Amino acid sequence: MDSLQREFAAAQAQFQSLEALRLVPETLESEWTRGRDTYLAFLVPVDDPAAISHLRAVVRQIEHIPGVEPYPESYWHITVKGIGFEAETAERPNDVGRRDFDRIALAARRVFEAEPAFEVTLGHANGFPEVVFAEVWDGLPVRELNARLLEALPDLIRYPFDGEVFLPHVSVARFTSDDGLDELKTTLSSLRGDEPGPGFVVSDVQLVRAHLSASAPKLETIETYRLRPA
């Protein structure tokens, strides 16, 4: 699991201490958009059949809990780096104008082409205040990609969870109410006794548009970057 073990354990302890969840209207997918509906990001899609089967099993354990809204399978991914809201010109904070977009895409290609492919493993179910997620073990290369992008593009927006604290994960559900918080805590705690999921090779990263709406974001692939063969 490499050195991320303690960080996942800390996230689990924090979740168990929560008195309230961070609901959809308070997240990037809703309130932060302020009328904007397209968000750009680099991510790794989860399309490995064994990994999908493992995540389905996790979702089956939580989907009945009040206030838990599973993401569709087409949304399952490992985020590498959020970029910002797509715009013709960057007039507001977190906007990415057309000129900046082209420059970011080019710099990202150079970063990804220099980094080797690697294998990750889906670990235990866990929770952040805004989502239920599956841990990504052996995920330090994902954190490294995040850091490399920040180094190559120093003007790229840096979120509090980027860089040395970036914690690779796959979000599988978000929250619409606090009604099932106690049951969710109990369920996630019990799931941590299960065996971890399968491993799979990460050989490319996608640049995507996340189309935001009242429903779960829909991902549109703009470009696929191949990592260097290991």
Token digits of residue 82 = 């959020």
- What is the reported pLDDT for 78? 98
Of the ranges 33-42, 70-79, 166-175, which one carries the lowest mean pLDDT score?
Answer: 33-42
In angstroms, the Cα distances linking 149 to 40, 120, 128, 202 are 14, 20, 24, 17
Spatial contact of 228 and 116, defined as CB atoms under 8 Å apart: yes
**Which pLDDT does position 61 carry in this prediction?**
98
Vertex 141: Cα angle to 203 and 164 (nearest 5): 145
pLDDT tens sequence across 67-126 = 999 999 999 999 999 999 998 888 888 889 988 999 999 999 999 999 999 999 999 999
- Please check the confidence at residue 3 and state whether its pLDDT lies above 80: no
CATH class, range 2-214: alpha beta
Dump pLDDT digits (tens) for 119-140.
Answer: 999 999 999 999 999 999 999 9
26 by Cβ neighbours in 10 Å (0-12 / 13-18 / 19+) ranks as middle
User: 31 falls in which pLDDT band (50, 70, 90)?
Assistant: very low
Please check whether residue 191 is in contact with residue 123, taking contact to mean a CB–CB distance below 8 angstroms: no
The structure tokens listed for 153 are 């593009």
First vs last Cα of the chain: how many Å apart?
20
